[in-house]
Structure 1
Amino acid sequence: MRPSGPAILAAIVLAVEGLALTAVALFELFALGSRGAASTTSAIALIVLTMITALALWAFAVGTLRRASWARSGGIVIQVLGLALALASLTVEPRIWLFTLGVGGTALVGLIVLISATRRDGESDPRLPSVDPGRRADDEK
């Protein structure tokens, strides 16, 4: 079965976020090579964690296209963390609006399409019991 439209859009958002984090990790790696880091150990740990998150986003993108529920739920967690990061960035002076809007906007769009994909894929999942929209859950008892 082909993925739904929201699932394809969600996979694109997750892949773009994975690409952005890969670019951030490369930037951090170059900064480490040019002695731009205050602590080499902390810089290496940050690079490793950034790459782990980027790989997770890539895996979530592929899993979302394959209609895997673990990928959609993992993607939703990442989007909620992105929204929290964007809101937290509002407390920093000077405010960097491009960062706040970029991270927060992308996370909000990703959250909306992932929830939409989850609803759409849940309706068509043959493993789940189908419920007639005109029938209430109380009628089954």
Structure 2
Amino acid sequence: MHAPGLARAAAAVLALEGAALLVIALMEVFGLGSGGAANLATALALIALTLIGAGALVAFAFGALRGRSWARSGGVVLQVLAIALALASLTLQPVPWAFVIAVGAPGVLGLVLLLASARREAPTREE
């Protein structure tokens, strides 16, 4: 089945976010190897959770591409979390604008695309 354009765009955003989290996990591994971790157990847990998040985003991307509602639901949850993280970082001084934009903009874009995709693919009801 050929995925609609909105579903492909939403899947692309999710896949790119998953790839970004994978890069972050690799940076954490290299930081761990250079002795930059204060607590080994905490560093390993952070790496594991980051890899789980990356895997979830990639799985949601494939599911959204196939029009699965579970993937759109999971993707929406992670986009809302990204937006919340970006908004929470606005309380830091000085405000890390690069982080706010790098996390918030894809979160908003992904959320809009996922919701639009779900709305377009929803069966119409005649009452």
For the criterion TM > 0.5, the same-fold answer is yes
Runs of 4 or more consecutive aligned structure 1 residues displaced over 2 Å after TM superposition: none
2:98 matched to 1:104?
no
Post-superposition Cα deviations, 1:78-137, rounded to whole Å, max 9, x if no partner, equal 0000000000000112211010011001100000000011011113xxxxxx423xxxx4
Secondary structure of the structure 2 residue equivalent to 1:36:
coil
2:72 matched to 1:79?
no
> Do the aligned residues in 2 keep the contact of 1:4 with 1:120 (CA within 8 Å)?
no
Give 1:1-141 correspondences, 5 Å limit: 1-123=1-123, 130-132=124-126, 137=127
CA–CA distance in structure 2, aligned partners of residues 28 and 131 of structure 1: 49
Structure with larger Rg: 1
Unaligned runs of 5+ in 1: 124-129
User: If the length of structure 2 is used for normalisation, what is the TM-score?
Assistant: 0.97
Unaligned runs of 5+ in 2: none
RMSD after superposition: 0.9
Question: Which one is further off, 27-36 or 1-10?
Answer: 1-10
- Residue 90 of structure 2 aligns to which amino acid in structure 1? L
Percent identical among aligned pairs is 53
Q: Deviation at 1:2?
A: 1.6
User: If the length of structure 1 is used for normalisation, what is the TM-score?
Assistant: 0.87
Post-superposition Cα deviations, 1:44-87, rounded to whole Å, max 9, x if no partner, equal 00000000000000000000011110000000000000000000
Q: Deviation at 1:4?
A: 1.1
- Residue 125 of structure 2 aligns to which amino acid in structure 1? V
